[in-house]
Amino acid sequence: MTLPASAPTLADIRAARDAIGGLVLRTPSIVARELSALAGQDVLLKLETLQPIGAFKLRGAANAISRLSDKQKRHGIGCCSTGNHGRAIAYAAARAGIRATICLSALVPEAKVRAIRDLGAEVRRIGNSQDDAQAEIDRLARSDGLTDIPPFDHPHVIAGQGTIALELLEDRPDLAAIVVPLSGGGLISGIAIAAKALRPEIRIIGVSMENGAAMHESLAAGRPVEVTEVPSLADSLGGGIGLGNQWTFPICRALVDQTILVSEEEIYRGIQALMGDQKLVTEGAAAVGPAALIAGKLKLDGPSAMIISGHNVDPDQFLAIASGQPVKIGDQTIRG
Ligand SMILES: *Cc1c(COP(=O)(O)O)cnc(C)c1O
């Protein structure tokens, strides 16, 4: 299977690394002792939780902003997002002196909304899905000339996320696999392009939650399909891939070796495992790799890395999970 002609290349991802260097942290990868013992291989954790906004999405946002024209910068930028992309756009725009408008669905947790406002962006809450929020952004693009920076399906965003793989392979050139939380697929697409260009035999594995795994369902169907959005501990993995998806669907189809689904109980245990192993505070989306390993759904046959993608979790929810108490998500009660 071939990539779209306009898909980013290794050279684009290297250029992105230079462009975002002032704003984005080069994060460490640390060995997780207990997860490594369980896997029988070194398991490295790539700590994107340490980024200034607490998630990797700053990489893609910073790269997209670096590529705007002066005219686009004057009219401002915007996006709709389940949270971390919005934070990233708000933070990177404020640093660049650009106005940012973020549209969010009503399902996005209040803590994330407040965090975006605190970063200096205007927030509008619209409807109950990513699609409703996107319609409002499209309207602002037509009426105000705002530039929409999408959360995943954009070559500059994909190239920014791909910088993670450059760092990982510097740290461990012999990696056999990279395990990546998977939603719209911007993160895994960038990582797959860079990693496979540098190390063709590497395996790229995506992990999503069972309820509403849009890319997994789309890959199975052979075309982008819609999924129902369901509240999840991995709220950052919610939302569709877009029926008009141009880049991440074909890139995932060509380069992702395997996708795995994990249940809410398994995600709960993944969060506990990262807390127990390395005392990490993580959100559910970041814990799906450990969750798959602990559940026996992921087999690793060489040193592997897991992208610990973010830590923007409601503190009460995290504390409940860390201390083994049940948590309510929508109308489900999750126990470890
Ligand atoms: C956005 C996000 C993901 C998934 O990234 P995609 O590019 O949409 O696949 C995973 N983890 C966190 C914390 C995120 O914010």
When pLDDT is averaged across residues 153-157 and rounded to a whole number, the result is: 98
> Percent of the chain having pLDDT more than 70?
99
Q: What is the per-residue pLDDT across 22-53, written as a single tens digit (0 to 9) for each? A: 999 999 999 999 999 999 999 999 999 999 99
Q: Which atom from ligand 1 is nearest to the alpha carbon of 189?
A: 7
Q: What is the per-residue pLDDT across 245-298, written as a single tens digit (0 to 9) for each? A: 999 999 999 999 999 999 999 999 999 999 999 999 999 999 999 999 999 999
Same domain, 271 and 305: yes
Q: Which of 45, 47, 56 to mutate to test the pocket of ligand 1 (most atoms within 8 A of CB)?
A: 56
Task: Indicate which residue's Cα is closest to atom 4 of ligand 1.
Answer: 183
CA of 235 to the centre of ligand 1 (A): 9
Q: 8-12, 93-97, 124-128: lowest mean pLDDT where?
A: 124-128
When pLDDT is averaged across residues 103-118 and rounded to a whole number, the result is: 84
CA of 307 to the centre of ligand 1 (A): 10
**pLDDT for res 82:** 63
Q: What is the per-residue pLDDT across 224-243, written as a single tens digit (0 to 9) for each? A: 999 998 999 999 999 899 99
When pLDDT is averaged across residues 315-330 and rounded to a whole number, the result is: 96
CA of 191 to the centre of ligand 1 (A): 12
Q: Which one of 94, 119, 148 terminates a domain?
A: 148
d(CA 203, CA 256): 8
Task: Indicate which residue's Cα is closest to atom 1 of ligand 1.
Answer: 236
- List residues near ligand 1 (CB under 6 A): 55, 57, 84, 152, 181-188, 236-237, 283, 285-286, 309-310
Structure tokens at 304: 């592997």
Q: Which atom from ligand 1 is nearest to the alpha carbon of 184?
A: 8
Q: Give the residue numbers spanning the domain of 110.
A: 58-148
When pLDDT is averaged across residues 91-118 and rounded to a whole number, the result is: 89
Q: Which one of 148, 171, 197 terminates a domain?
A: 148
**With 90 as the cut, is the pLDDT of residue 106 above it?**
no
**pLDDT for res 81:** 78
Is there a domain that residue 1 lies in? no
CA of 151 to the centre of ligand 1 (A): 9
**With 80 as the cut, is the pLDDT of residue 137 above it?**
yes
Q: Total domain count for the chain?
A: 2
Same domain, 174 and 75: no
d(CA 105, CA 127): 5
Q: At what angle do helices 155-171 and 58-66 cross, to 10 degrees?
A: 120
* Nearest CA among 184, 146, 193 for reference residue 6: 193
- Could you give the residue numbers annotated as active site? 57, 323
* Nearest CA among 61, 21, 246, 59 for reference residue 147: 61
**With 80 as the cut, is the pLDDT of residue 109 above it?**
no
Task: Indicate which residue's Cα is closest to atom 14 of ligand 1.
Answer: 236
d(CA 260, CA 179): 10
Q: Could you tell me the CATH number of the domain that includes residue 14?
A: 3.40.50.1100
**With 90 as the cut, is the pLDDT of residue 108 above it?**
no
Same domain, 314 and 330: yes
Residue located via tokens 């860079």: 194
d(CA 183, CA 238): 7
Over the chain, what is the mean pLDDT?
95
